[in-house]
Amino acid sequence: MRFLRLFTKGFFLTVNTIVVLLFLVACLAPYVSPEQWWPISFITLLFPLLLLALVLFFICWLLFDYKYCLLPMMPIVIGWKSISAFIAFNYPTSVKQFANPKGSLTIMSYNVAQFGLYREKDSKYNREAMFALIKKQELDILCLQDFYTSEKKNDFNNREDISREMKLPYRFFSSDFNRDGMQHWGSIIYSRYPIIKSDKLKMSYGPRSESLIYADIVKNKDTFRIINMHLASYRFNERDYRSIEKIKKQEDTGLVATRNIVQKMRDAYVDRSKQADIVAAFIRTCPYPVIVCGDFNDTPASYTYFTIRGPLQDAFLRKGSGIGRTFAGLAPTLRIDYIFPDKTFKVNSFRKINSGLSDHYPVIANLSAVR
């Protein structure tokens, strides 16, 4: 019996130690670029599970042998920077509690997944429902990623239609890809207020590279810069998603499929780290207060998140609550869509709309200039 107790304690101590080491490695992600050591990015995906394991270990040691409580508690203290970026410790608020102060600015960031362009049956309905959702928010600034528009007859001219229907007359569109000069894909910024300057900056080069876009906007006597971007994705195809489901269900070992998926993920992590460095350098040169929006395709535990955020605020952490998942697929802990205001703005509110119209949820922040 004594042997069994010693073996059990030794086993849990060993597992606890392994979890501690992995968690501490994940907490190094803000300082280690995947370009230098890409495996760290895969470990950051485990961050919420590792944190949960540490909490459970702490409770168990507290109940059964309190002298080991320091083992899970110390990494939690050491890794507080990553934990505080992952979880918003605010009391949840209802939609009715959101009252926008006079003169404030309401901004939305939304990956619209091309308005359901490639949905076989309901793309028209999907587009109409998205338009209705966006219009209801009465926005001042709208930042869209994975945007599609067309000038072809009997197709959707989303670029013009949104300006007209949402009463957002000013805009800047990246048009990173086009087909026959008529169909366009990219990111776009819409504004209720005049845009005095706008441009785009290539974050990478290649057939599928996208741009960071920005617009300098004047509201009353204040000028601020909106930055919008869509960072490199994993570019999983339907076959990859089927392989992931098979691996999850343990239907086969999926060795070849797993190797292909890992390769795509590794390449995306490295690409995003390079893009994040470019974005951070650009933000540092901005002559006006900035509001950064976008689909980063990376979690708050990542190098990408911390590099781009820098000294900026995370609107979700200011006024959101919980984990704040913004991506509907793969895992329930993926917050990859962000609004980062400069510290010259006060974050009045933040909310996320759990809409299934895209694989991303739109995020909305209301901001006021600090006088």
Q: Are 302 and 29 in contact (CB under 8 A)?
A: yes
Predicted local confidence at residue 370, as pLDDT: 84
Predicted local confidence at residue 343, as pLDDT: 96
Q: How far is residue 219's CA from residue 289's CA, in Å, rounded to a whole number? A: 13
Q: How far is residue 315's CA from residue 87's CA, in Å, rounded to a whole number? A: 12
Predicted local confidence at residue 254, as pLDDT: 57
b or e along 316-333 (b: 16 or more beta carbons within 10 Å of the residue's beta carbon)? bbbbbbebbbbbeeeeeb
β-strand 222-230 against 290-295: which pairing, if any? parallel
Q: Are 308 and 280 in contact (CB under 8 A)?
A: yes
What is the amino acid identity at position 104? S
Predicted local confidence at residue 121, as pLDDT: 62
The number of CA neighbours under 13 Å toward the Cβ of 173 is: 20
Q: How far is residue 86's CA from residue 48's CA, in Å, rounded to a whole number? A: 8
Q: How far is residue 50's CA from residue 333's CA, in Å, rounded to a whole number? A: 13
Can you state the angle between helices 123-136 and 158-165, rounded to 10 degrees? 30
Domains for the chain: give ranges and CATH numbers.
2-86 (no CATH), 95-369 (3.60.10.10)
Per the DSSP assignment, residues forming a β-bridge with 177 are 185
Q: How far is residue 191's CA from residue 58's CA, in Å, rounded to a whole number? A: 49
Predicted local confidence at residue 238, as pLDDT: 60
Predicted local confidence at residue 233, as pLDDT: 87
Predicted local confidence at residue 14, as pLDDT: 95
Predicted local confidence at residue 1, as pLDDT: 64
Helix (H, G, I), strand (E, B) or coil at 330: coil
Q: Are 257 and 248 in contact (CB under 8 A)?
A: no
Predicted local confidence at residue 272, as pLDDT: 95
Per-residue pLDDT of the chain (371 residues; tens, 9 = 90+): 666 777 788 899 999 999 999 999 999 999 999 999 999 999 999 999 999 999 999 999 999 888 999 999 999 999 999 999 999 999 877 656 567 888 899 999 999 999 987 765 677 788 999 999 999 999 999 999 999 999 888 889 999 999 999 999 999 999 998 888 789 999 999 999 999 999 999 998 776 788 999 999 999 989 999 999 999 987 766 665 566 565 555 555 555 567 788 888 999 999 999 999 999 999 999 999 999 999 999 999 999 999 999 999 999 999 999 999 999 876 778 899 999 999 999 999 999 999 989 999 999 999 998 86
Predicted local confidence at residue 178, as pLDDT: 86
CB under 8 Å to 89, separation ≥6 — which residues? 321
For the chain, the straight-line distance linking the first and the last C-alpha, in angstroms and rounded, comes to: 69
Q: How far is residue 280's CA from residue 309's CA, in Å, rounded to a whole number? A: 8
Q: How far is residue 302's CA from residue 51's CA, in Å, rounded to a whole number? A: 15
Q: How far is residue 332's CA from residue 134's CA, in Å, rounded to a whole number? A: 24
Rounded to 5°, the CA angle 80-43-291 comes to: 60
Q: Are 334 and 299 in contact (CB under 8 A)?
A: yes
- DSSP per-residue string spanning 111-167: E-GGGGTT-TTTHHHHHHHHHHHHHHT--SEEEEEEEEEE-STTS--HHHHHHHHTT
Dig out the tokens for 256 from the structure.
């070849």
Predicted local confidence at residue 202, as pLDDT: 92
β-strand 211-219 against 195-202: which pairing, if any? antiparallel
Q: How far is residue 363's CA from residue 187's CA, in Å, rounded to a whole number? A: 16
Q: Where are the beta strands (DSSP E) in 244-336?
A: 290-295
